[in-house]
Amino acid sequence: MSWDGETRAVAPKKAAPNPKKDLLALMQNADLWHSPEKAAYATIEIAGRVENIEVQSAGFKHWLRSLYFKTHNFSAPRSAVDDVQDQIEAMALFDHREHPVFRRVGFSGGALYIDLCNDAGQVVEVTSNNWTVTDRPAVRFIRSRHARALPVPEIDDSPNALGRLRQYINVATEDDFRLAVAWLIGAYAPEGPYPIAVITGEQGSAKSTVSRILRDLTDPSASLLRSQPRDERDMAIGAVNNRVLAFDNVSSVPQWQSDAFCRLATGGGFATRELHSDAEEIVLEAVRPIILNGITDLVRRPDLGERSIMITTRRLAESERLSERAFRAEYEKDRPYIFGALLDGLVSAMRKRDSVHLERLPRMADFAIWATAAEAGLGFEDRAIVRAFTANRDAAVRGEIENDDVATAVIRMIERRDDGIWEGSASSLLIELNQITGEAVQRLKGWPKTAAGLGQKMARLQPSLRAIGIDCEKGRAGKDGGRLWTIRQT
């Protein structure tokens, strides 16, 4: 009603903006789901490709804000985005299906899938018949922001397609090369255990370059090599965010790190406190392929040695050296064909792994069977890999024994006995070993100072000593109630 008495229409009030409601409306038809570990995910389109992204990640938050801005032409309040992010997480966890989640390598329905992590969203599907490139995998992959692309594979019809790789892997012997290829094939296995590639050699033998090539052909990243982790939490977080872990210029492997590498190679959890919480504990579980390189003997503990492949590099002559730029240019030309040759090996592994029977199963039996099944596709002669692996393991055991003062003392002790048998408590064994060794050895940090310490040491040495014909068993109880050790030469 106007002042002059005329009646005028009153415009209806606009509805107040409701960012939370609008954000949820945008997600109404979203593909939400959760992993068996109860992490919430959304399958969304980013830059024309489909990606699986964790709902509570910063990346999902940025995508949600961007989607809102494109739709409404103004930004959603930060508090609204945070609230909706929590609501979407709850929806994914309780209202939507569960799916396994994979990083770089996945397995489903008898097929192996390898995420190329390229902008086209392509993956390689490997079956027992062939390999193909597709953009519609039957599994759900996630990728870290540091992941880089594997090449789109190419076919090399020559009899020795892996010959392209040999020129970039500067190793001492053909057995070393076979073991490097076996490690590559093992890193693509659908499940662990995965052997640890331990690359050693003198200065100037291209250890880091070999490590980079192995990582680049399995799980390329913005940073191919990293320094040793400071603690278990760092190692666990690295394992959660990468398919392969590669550590450069390792000078020594302390006990806690050796134990952690063993758990990563064969499977195990890492318990740690949740961030910003004094009470909540989270357990990070992962099984991962690992690469270590260094100048000296890195593996001094038998349990780590049993899980490792020792690869020795040779020193390059001056005439063999290339600039990094020239080396990389040649390698990039061959990289798609090398990857294709490895995929041929994986097809063979998928086809033959259930029919492989090895007379002598090593510690990493599943890896040995998988690699042996791949030989036909790789162009290797039958059982070449397992022979190299067995010889490698035997040589490593001898090295571990020679470098361990307790093992050396046990050997000397048993060789002095006419019957080749010793029996007694850990306390008695410590006294006898102390009599065999000098004071200088007893003052060393690694020499056990107590019976309990010696018992733990003997338990770790059992596999290595058994491999050279000395059985060490902890059996019946002695007079003091403690278990007696029986050591005999077989």
* 205: in domain: yes
- Among 235, 269, 268, which residue's Cα sits nearest to residue 254? 235
Residues 89 and 106 in one domain: no
Residue 90 pLDDT > 50, yes or no? yes
Q: What would the mean pLDDT of 389-403 be, rounded to a whole number? A: 84
Residue 10 pLDDT > 90, yes or no? no
User: Helices (H), strands (E): how many in the chain?
Assistant: 16, 18
Residues 105 and 91 in one domain: no
C-alpha span between 193 and 183 (Å, rounded) = 11
* 110: in domain: yes
Q: What is the pLDDT of residues 236-257, one digit of tens each?
A: 888 888 999 999 999 889 889 9
C-alpha span between 446 and 490 (Å, rounded) = 27
pLDDT band at 16 (very low <50, low <70, confident <90, very high): very low
Residue 284 pLDDT > 50, yes or no? yes
pLDDT band at 13 (very low <50, low <70, confident <90, very high): very low
Residues 354 and 214 in one domain: yes
* 42: in domain: yes
* 484: in domain: yes
* 226: in domain: yes
SS3 label, residue 318:
helix
Spatial neighbors of 469 by CB under 8 A, at least 6 apart, are: 489, 490
Number of residues assigned to the chain: 490
Two tokens at 10? Answer: 């009153």
C-alpha span between 243 and 289 (Å, rounded) = 7
Q: What is the pLDDT of residues 146-168, one digit of tens each?
A: 999 999 999 998 877 898 999 99
Residues 91 and 114 in one domain: no
Cα–Cα distance list, 140 to 107, 152, 413 (Å): 10, 19, 57
C-alpha span between 489 and 468 (Å, rounded) = 9
Predicted confidence at residue 3, as pLDDT, reads 45
Domain final residue, candidates 399, 427, 454 = 399
Residues 197 and 71 in one domain: no
Residues 353 and 389 in one domain: yes
**Domain count within the chain:** 4
Burial 243-261 (b: 16+ CB within 10 A, else e): bbbbbbebeebeeebbbbb
* 158: in domain: no
Per the structure, the complete domain to which residue 441 belongs is given by 404-489
Q: What is the pLDDT of residues 303-328, one digit of tens each?
A: 888 899 999 999 887 777 888 899 99
Q: What would the mean pLDDT of 421-443 be, rounded to a whole number? A: 91
Domain final residue, candidates 399, 420, 455 = 399
Predicted confidence at residue 6, as pLDDT, reads 54
Q: Any bridge partners for residue 46, and if so which?
A: 49
Q: What is the pLDDT of residues 359-382, one digit of tens each?
A: 888 778 999 999 999 999 999 999
Predicted confidence at residue 477, as pLDDT, reads 66
Domain CATH number, residue 352: 3.40.50.300
Residue 340 pLDDT > 90, yes or no? yes
Work out whether strand 483-489 and strand 308-312 pair parallel, antiparallel, or are unpaired: unpaired
Residues 369 and 395 in one domain: yes
Predicted confidence at residue 15, as pLDDT, reads 44
Predicted confidence at residue 412, as pLDDT, reads 92
- Contact call for residues 48 and 42 (beta carbons, < 8 A): no
Residues 195 and 271 in one domain: yes
Work out whether strand 196-200 and strand 140-142 pair parallel, antiparallel, or are unpaired: unpaired
Q: What would the mean pLDDT of 116-120 be, rounded to a whole number? A: 93
Domain final residue, candidates 334, 367, 399 = 399
Residue 356 pLDDT > 80, yes or no? yes
Residues 219 and 312 in one domain: yes
* 299: in domain: yes
Residues 469 and 342 in one domain: no
Residues 258 and 283 in one domain: yes
Residues 342 and 359 in one domain: yes
Domain CATH number, residue 469: 3.90.1150.220
- Contact call for residues 458 and 485 (beta carbons, < 8 A): yes
Predicted confidence at residue 273, as pLDDT, reads 53
Q: What would the mean pLDDT of 384-391 be, rounded to a whole number? A: 92
Q: What is the pLDDT of residues 31-84, one digit of tens each?
A: 999 999 899 999 988 877 888 999 999 999 999 999 999 988 889 899 999 999
- Kindly report each contact of residues 116-125 with a partner whose C-beta sits within 8 Å and lies 24 or more positions away, as own/partner: 116/149, 116/150, 116/151, 116/152, 117/143, 117/147, 117/148, 117/149, 117/150, 117/220, 118/149, 118/150, 118/152, 119/47, 119/49, 119/149, 120/49, 121/49, 121/50, 121/51, 122/152, 124/153, 124/343
* 151: in domain: no
pLDDT band at 177 (very low <50, low <70, confident <90, very high): very high
Share of the chain above pLDDT 90, in %: 60
